[in-house]
Amino acid sequence: MAATATTHTRPTGITVGALILALAGVLAPTIAGRADAQTPVRGGTLRIGWIPDAKTLDPHFSVQFAERHVLYLVFNTLVGLDKSFNVIPELARSWQVAPDGKRVTFQLQRGVKFHDGTDFTAEVVKWNIDRILDPATKSPQRSQLEPAVAAVSVVDPYTVAFEMKKPFAPLLAALAERPGFIVSPAAVKKWGENFGQHPVGTGPFRFVDFVQDSRVTLERFDGYWEKGKPYFDKVVYHVVPDPTVRSTMVRTGEVDIATDVEAKDVPLLQADQNLRVSEMKPPARWTVLQWQVDKPPFNNKALREAIALGINREELKQVLLRGFGEVARGVATPGLWWQDPNLKGYGYNPELAKKKLAEAGYPNGFRYKFAVENTSQWIRQAELLQGQLQKINVTLDFELVNTADAYALIVQRKTNWTHTRWTQRADPHGLFYILFHSKGFANSTGYSNPKVNELLDRAAVIYEPERRKPLYHEAERLIVEDAPYVFLNYTAEFAVMSRKVQNWVWVPDLIPRFRDLWLEK
Amino acid sequence: MRRWTREFGSGKPAVQVSVGAAVIGVALVLAAFGARLGPYDPLRYDPREVLTRPSVAHLLGTDPLGRDVFSQIIGGARISMVVGIVSVLGGLGAGTAIGLVAGTLRGRGADVLMRAMDALLVFPSLVLALAITAFLGVSLWNVIGALAVTFVPTFAILVRGEVLSLREREFITAAGALGVGRLRIMWRHLLPNVSDVLLVQASFGVGTAILTEASLSFLGLGVPPPALSWGRMLREGYSYLLLAPWISVASGAAIFLVALAFQMFSDGLRDVLVRRPGAAAR
C-alpha cells in the first residue's frame, strides 16, 4: 500500500498519468463506459430467476427461504447486516445496551414512510413486536423473541426500548432477520389474514402483485427514505424451479440474474463471456442427513455413528459439487467467528462403520425408508449415498416427497430419515438454539441433551463474543458426536448474472440483496 | 434387400408385423434377463468416470454418478415392458368384462356403466395417470394401476361395440334359444369373436403405456429409484443436456424404438387380422 502511495509523488507517475489521459481521449467511448459503471444507473427492470416455494410475503409468518428474497425489498429490518455479518443501522439509527444487559434502546430514523403513506414511529415498532409476541398471532418467529423479550416500550416517538427478561446477546441479529421486519400496522388491519398477499412495508420497492408459483412484481417506491435509492423502476421475480433452467435463462437473456445455480453448470456458465458467475466464499450452507433420535430405530447411537462413518464426504463433494465447497464437520461454516478450527467431525471409516453396525444390533445389515425430495439434484445425492452406504450393508428405500412439502413433513415429524440443508444466521444462537436446544422451534430430530441446553442458555446471555465462543465450541462437539444430524458438505453457492448487473455482494445468510443492485445501460 | 425396403415402405402388413415383433422380442429378452446382459452393473457408480463421453469402455457414455448408460438402458427395459404389458393386461381384463356385460345386458344398468366409461375416457390418459399417482404416491404398482385404469374405458367401449353387433347374429340367438346361459355365451361365443380386435388394441396399448410411463417418470411420478426407468434417465439427462447429451439421446431413442415397434406391430396386425376380406364381411 505504502509503495503505491509514493509512486504518485514521483515525476514518472505524473508522466504515466498524462499518458493515460491521452489514451483516454483515443479510447473515449470505452473509458467513458467504464466511468459510468462507477456510479449507479437509475432505471430499468431487474428480472430475477427465482427459486420456488414462496407462500406468504408477511415476514412474521414466513418460513420459506424463497420468501426472504422478496422481503428485503418490500420491507426494512430494524437493524441490518453487512457482508461480514456485522449488525449495522437500518430503521434504527443507533442503539445502546444497558449495563445489566436487560434493556436495549433504539433511536429510530425520522421521516420514514410506509408505502401506504403512514408514518414509521416507535409505536409501530412496539406494535410489530407485540404482534409477533402475541400467542394468538401464531407467528413462527415468536420463539426467537419470546424467551428473552418481556415487553417493548415507547420512550418517545422516535425512541423505543426492549425490556428483557434476561440479557440476550442474539437479540440484534434476530432483529436483522425475520423477527425484525417492520410491517405497516394500518395495512395489516386492512388486509387481515391476506396481508401476506398484499404486503406493505417501508422498503425501497412497493408491492404490485404476487401470483403464487409464478411471479412477484415490485416497483420503485418514490418516497423511500434512503436518498437516491433504489435504482430500478421495477423488479420482477419469475419462479423457475429447475436450477439448470434458471441458469440457462440468464444465458439466453430471459432473466438478468439467478441464484441457487448448480455446481455442475458452473464451468459452462463461466465460459460465457456475457455472464458473471459469483461464488460465495467461504461456503455458508450445509447439507445434512437427519433422523428422529428419540425413537427407534435411530435412538440407537451406534447405528447413527455407523452411518455417519460410512459416508465418504470427499467423494460427495467431488461428484455432486464437482469439487466446489468443503467437506462438512459441524454446525458452523468456515469464516464465522464461532467456528471451531479444531473440530474434527466424522471421517470416512467403513471398517469401523461395520463394527458399529454390528454393535448396534444389525450384524446382517440395516434397511430403512429414506425420504428424498423429488428433484434430480437430491435424487442424485441420495443415489450416491445409497451406493456408499451399501458398502457397509445399509440399504436406503427411497420415498419421494414433493420439495414444497419436504420441510413441513420434517417439522410435523412425518419423515424420520431424510436430508436437509440450512443457511447461516448472523448469531451462533440462531441455528444452535433452533435446531439443537430441546426447546428450539426447528428441533425436528427430538434431540435433547441437558448439557447442550445448558451451554446454549449460558452462551445466549453473554454479550462478549470471545466469552461465548468456547461455550459454542463445546456444544458443537457434543452435537456432532451425538449425531442428531450427519453433516455432509458445506456447499458452494453460485449466482449467475448478466455482466450488466452491478454491485452484487454475498451476505453469509445467502439471501440475495437485490435491492442494492443496478443495471448498466 | 431392396425388395424388403420396398415392401416395408409400402407398409406391407407382414413386414410391419415382423419388424415390430423383432424389436419387441429383443426388448422382451432384455426385460427377462435384465441388467445381467449389460457390460456393467447399472447401479455401480464410479466417481472417477463421471460424465465420460461414449467410448469403447462405455458405449453410451456415463451419467453424473459415473454409471454406465448402456447398462442402464438395458436394465431399464424391464420396467418399461413390465409396466406396459401388466397395465394393458389389467385394463384389458377389466375393460373386456365390463364391455361384455354392458353389451349383453339391456337396460339402464348397461347405460350407467357405459356413461361411466365415457366419463373416464374424456380425461386425457396422461392427466388421469398423473392424478392417480400424485394422489396415491409413487410406486411400481401405483403406476401400473394408474395406467390400467386409463385403459379400461377403451377396451370396454371396443368390446361392447363388437358385442352389440354380434348379439343380433344367428349363432348367438341360436345359442340363446337352445338355453345356453349368459355367462357361457359371453365366454364361449362372444369372447373368441372379439379376440382379434382385442389383440390389436392391446399391442397398440402397450406402446402407449410405455410412452405414458416414460412421461410419468419424466415428471417425477414414475417408478421411484433405484429401479431403472428410461423416462427417469431422460429427465436426469435433461438437466445435463448441454454437458452430456448422450444420456437423454440414448434413453429417448430407447423409448422411441420400443413405442414405435408396438405401433408397427399393432398396425400390421390390424391389417392382417381385422381388415382381412372375410373379417370385413363379418
Provide mean pLDDT across the span B225-250.
89
What pLDDT does residue B281 have?
37
Beta-carbon separation of B220 and A386 below 8 A: no
Least Cα separation, residue B64 to chain A (angstroms) = 7
Q: Does residue B96 fall inside a structural domain? A: yes
Beta-carbon separation of A399 and B224 below 8 A: yes
Which three cell numbers mark A308? Answer: 455417519
Given A248, A376, A383, which is nearest B235 (Cβ)? Answer: A376
Q: What is the pTM of this model?
A: 0.82
Q: Does residue B2 fall inside a structural domain? A: no
Q: Does residue B8 fall inside a structural domain? A: no
Considering only CB atoms, which chain A residues are within 8 Å of B224?
A: 398-400
Given A242, A264, A375, which is nearest B64 (Cβ)? Answer: A264
Label residue B3 by pLDDT band (50, 70, 90).
low
Q: A131-138: long-range contacts (C-beta < 8 A, 24 or more apart)?
A: A131/A60, A131/A183, A131/A188, A132/A60, A132/A179, A137/A60
Distances (CA, A) of B167 to A151, A520, B135, B193: 86, 79, 40, 11
What pLDDT does residue B241 have?
87
Q: In this complex, is the C-beta atom of A244 within 8 Å of any C-beta atom belonging to chain B? A: yes
Beta-carbon separation of B65 and A244 below 8 A: no
Give the span between the Cα atoms of B156 and B113, in whole angstroms: 10
Q: Which residue has the higher pLDDT, A353 or B163?
A: A353
Contact between residue B74 and residue B35 where contact means Cβ atoms under 8 Å apart: yes
Beta-carbon separation of A318 and B66 below 8 A: no
What pLDDT does residue B238 have?
87
Chain A stretch 297-326, residues whose beta carbon is closer than 8 A to a beta carbon of chain B: 315, 318-319
Beta bridge partners of A91: none
Chain A stretch 396-415, residues whose beta carbon is closer than 8 A to a beta carbon of chain B: 398-400
Least Cα separation, residue B87 to chain A (angstroms) = 22
A140 class by beta-carbon count within 10 Å (0-12 exposed, 13-18 middle, 19+ buried): middle
Of chain A, the end-to-end C-alpha distance in Å amounts to: 34
- Residues B165-219: pLDDT tens digits? 888 888 888 888 888 887 888 888 888 888 888 888 899 999 999 999 999 888 8
Q: In this complex, is the C-beta atom of A264 within 8 Å of any C-beta atom belonging to chain B? A: yes
What pLDDT does residue A195 have?
96
Q: In this complex, is the C-beta atom of A384 within 8 Å of any C-beta atom belonging to chain B? A: yes
Closest by CA to A80, choosing from A71, A72, A67, A89, is A89
Closest by CA to A455, choosing from A430, A434, A429, is A429
Give the span between the Cα atoms of A80 and A82, in whole angstroms: 7
Beta-carbon separation of B239 and A376 below 8 A: yes
- Compute chain A's Rg from CA coordinates: 25
Q: Does residue B179 fall inside a structural domain? A: no
Strands A205-211 and A215-220: what pairing? antiparallel
Label residue B161 by pLDDT band (50, 70, 90).
confident
Q: Which of A311, A380, A395 to mutate to test the interface with B (most CBs of B within 10 A)?
A: A380
Interface of B to A at Cβ within 8 Å reads 43-45, 47, 50, 64-66, 138, 220, 224-226, 235-236, 238-240, 242-243
What pLDDT does residue B7 have?
54
Q: Does residue B224 fall inside a structural domain? A: yes
Q: Does residue B281 fall inside a structural domain? A: no
Q: In this complex, is the C-beta atom of A117 within 8 Å of any C-beta atom belonging to chain B? A: no
Q: CA-nearest residue of chain B to A401?
A: B137
Q: Any alpha helices (H) in A369-514, and if so which ranges?
A: 376-390, 403-411, 428-436, 450-460, 465-482
B149 contacts: CB under 8 Å, gap ≥ 6? B91, B120, B128, B129, B132
Least Cα separation, residue A520 to chain B (angstroms) = 29
Give the span between the Cα atoms of A502 and A89, in whole angstroms: 23
Q: Which of B44, B50, B51, B65 to mutate to test the interface with A (most CBs of A within 10 A)?
A: B65
Beta-carbon separation of B226 and A386 below 8 A: yes
> How many domains does chain B divide into?
1
What is the identity of the amino acid at A488?
A: L
What pLDDT does residue A10 have?
35
Q: In this complex, is the C-beta atom of A215 within 8 Å of any C-beta atom belonging to chain B? A: no
Which three cell numbers mark A259? Answer: 441464484
Counting one residue from chain A and one from chain B, the pairs whose CB atoms sit within 8 A come to: 52
Beta-carbon separation of A268 and B240 below 8 A: no
* pLDDT tens across the length of chain A (521 residues): 333 333 333 333 333 444 444 444 444 444 444 444 468 999 999 999 999 989 999 999 998 899 999 999 999 999 999 988 999 999 999 999 999 999 999 999 999 999 999 999 999 999 999 999 999 999 999 988 998 999 999 999 999 999 999 999 999 999 999 999 999 999 999 999 999 999 999 999 999 999 999 999 999 999 999 998 999 999 999 999 889 999 999 999 999 999 999 998 998 899 999 999 999 989 999 999 999 999 999 999 999 999 999 999 999 999 999 899 999 999 999 989 999 999 999 999 999 999 999 999 999 999 999 999 988 889 999 999 999 999 999 999 999 888 878 888 898 889 999 999 999 999 999 899 999 999 888 899 999 999 999 999 999 999 889 999 999 999 999 999 999 999 999 998 999 999 999 999 999 999 999 999 999 88
What pLDDT does residue B9 have?
53
Given B45, B220, B224, which is nearest A387 (Cβ)? Answer: B45
Considering only CB atoms, which chain A residues are within 8 Å of B225?
A: 379, 382-383, 398
Q: Does residue B253 fall inside a structural domain? A: yes
Which three cell numbers mark A329? Answer: 464437520
Beta-carbon separation of A398 and B224 below 8 A: yes
Closest by CA to A475, choosing from A516, A420, A436, A430, is A436
Q: Where are the beta strands (DSSP E) in A43-193?
A: 45-50, 79-81, 87-89, 92-97, 103-108, 149-156, 159-164
Distance from chain centroid for Cα B279: 25
Q: Which CATH number describes the domain made up of A285-490? A: 3.10.105.10
CATH code, domain with B220 = 1.10.3720.10
Considering only CB atoms, which chain B residues are within 8 Å of A389?
A: none
Q: What is the domain extent for residue B119?
A: 55-172+192-274
Q: In this complex, is the C-beta atom of A150 within 8 Å of any C-beta atom belonging to chain B? A: no
Label residue B2 by pLDDT band (50, 70, 90).
low
